[in-house]
Structure 1
């Protein structure tokens, strides 16, 4: 069995704090200019364009923008442009395209169509000289550096940090600015959290649910993907508000539940759900809180807007260890490639 601390996934995820520090310095001037334009000519809505982990980051953008700016945020369906070629009316909207490589044909087609339909395009992309960056009106590089493991880790956290920094600059929110100032140190502490009880419990798991609500839904989606691609576990992400609409029928002995909870208005409802699911006899793990019958996972506290970043940082270390424990190579999941290009 390989040493889990010698994988690329482990090394790259562990760089997240340094990435966020580098990104915030490098993007400061660009963010100020973009924020000035957004305040001077506010978009009537925001359209996110992304796939995979980047689309999970778009969920975070949706909740943060809608709660902090009151703007509707909708996720684009790339096939509307890349396959159907349907014309849309997107005048005075902001299209936010999120990508690691910035070269997937469907994403490029979506952004091109959005611009032709009247939207301004902002790209959050790790490859600053990519086709997406060339196409966008404004670019916020992620500054994550090369990521060789197929499983995206530091680039995902870098994307969430860039989104939070964009909202901070756009709103002038002093509280969010202070929270982002603490983020690198908190990420380092989150990386040291020991989630080995979760690794032990899932060593032989075949399926599970990952639950979040509001801002936390973004990392529930991301964790579910990582369980599938690095650990071979069929995991599905749900909002805590949706779990009772059918999926909870599966919850019980032998069916684990992982809950991501942040310290905002969603907290009490998430606690109640976790306790109810634990009462059904299945193993329930909760990050960011405590609930009767559930196993708390060590978590670092912070502003509610950034706690999701801290939780997923701790999770990445556990997912890497679980992958190795189950006999996988987290850097080379079966049938997957680092850059996925779809039409």
Structure 2
């Protein structure tokens, strides 16, 4: 008879403790990378790239979604995701001359990301690596390395390294745009992250203990947070979740939303907020089980020092809740079945 290891208490999981350290990670990262970010931003202002291309997988790709909206709203440069398969499987050359090519990776050794970075560099792009392992092959290949400074991350589920990726993108956008409000927000962000960790999101933990599926909705700068949350539901809780833009969900998927259907809404505090809140009320009118993360919602959203910081605060509160939910559903969030910490896709 096979024995089953007892589940840890919530505060003893690696996921809990790694996520809880995010504020300190971000503060250290901002200090460590300040000079490199300022130099890179000055270079980008002097020689603006025609566009930005990002390349990543998993949680890192969700960070790239945030980067897309961040660069397009703050510096007005079109940003798109480059599929890793284009360089690794299809070996199709891309026209990337003078582009800014951002690769995000925890390990910095995934073969497909390395091949795409090599191809981008050969095509004349400026390759910037956001990477946690500073002596990795990707870091050695890149023109500019922005260390995530997250330190060792032992839980399979990425937490502090994901938020460190968002923070690095935020620091770059702030110095690239030279927006005074966004620059000031960098100083306030670690403190806001600490407040977000203390926020009580137990209603969503209690409400989803017996769920089988759900939608996670976000929009604009908050879409990447919704994507990350949906992944974490699957990864740590064995709970099927799909992420949608609160605008795109109206194009078909909302037909599934009826009585009792769970919907988690991330209301980004900017021009997209009103539409997300209105959609949440529409779903409630259908009898759906709806939770809204906002300043006045079911799930408290800590006041962001700048709207672009809100996704980091949302996810920081979410990580504490998802850790508890995984345990409530009988899963150890540190060791999801069939998953490894590093996935080396070719």
Bucket of the pairwise TM-score, normalised by the shorter protein: over 0.9
TM-score by length of 2: 0.97
Provide, for residues 64-106 of structure 1, a one-character-per-residue CA deviation record: whole Å limited to 9, x for no partner: 1001111110100111110011112111101000011111001
CA distance in 1, matches of 2:137, 2:228: 25
In the alignment, what sits opposite 2:160?
Answer: 154
Matched, 1:199 2:205: yes
CA distance in 2, matches of 1:168, 1:298: 26
Matched, 1:277 2:279: no
Matched, 1:327 2:342: no
> 2:203·2:298 contact (CA, 8 Å) conserved in 1?
no
> 1:101·1:125 contact (CA, 8 Å) conserved in 2?
yes
In the alignment, what sits opposite 1:208?
Answer: 214
Matched, 1:339 2:342: yes
Identify which of 170, 176, 200 aligns with 2:176.
170
CA distance in 2, matches of 1:255, 1:274: 12
After TM superposition, the structure 1 stretch with the greater mean CA deviation from structure 2, 147-156 or 111-120, is 111-120
> 2:212·2:240 contact (CA, 8 Å) conserved in 1?
yes
Q: How many residue pairs end up in the alignment?
A: 339
CA distance in 2, matches of 1:115, 1:277: 47
In the alignment, what sits opposite 1:110?
Answer: 116
In the alignment, what sits opposite 1:124?
Answer: 130
CA distance in 1, matches of 2:261, 2:138: 41
In the alignment, what sits opposite 1:51?
Answer: 57
List runs of 5+ in structure 2 lacking aligned partners.
Answer: 1-6
CA distance in 2, matches of 1:2, 1:282: 32
SS of equivalent to 2:318: helix
List runs of 5+ in structure 1 lacking aligned partners.
Answer: none
In the alignment, what sits opposite 2:73?
Answer: 67
CA distance in 2, matches of 1:116, 1:255: 49
> 1:288·1:301 contact (CA, 8 Å) conserved in 2?
no
Q: How does 1:64-103 map to 2 (within 5 A)?
A: 64-103=70-109
- Residue 289 of structure 1: how far off its partner (Å): 4.2
Identify which of 296, 299, 302 aligns with 2:298.
296
SS of equivalent to 1:243: helix
Kindly report the root-mean-square deviation, in angstroms, between the aligned alpha carbons of the 2 structures. Answer: 0.9
TM-score by length of 1: 0.97
> 1:271·1:289 contact (CA, 8 Å) conserved in 2?
no
SS of equivalent to 1:143: coil
- Residue 305 of structure 1: how far off its partner (Å): 0.7
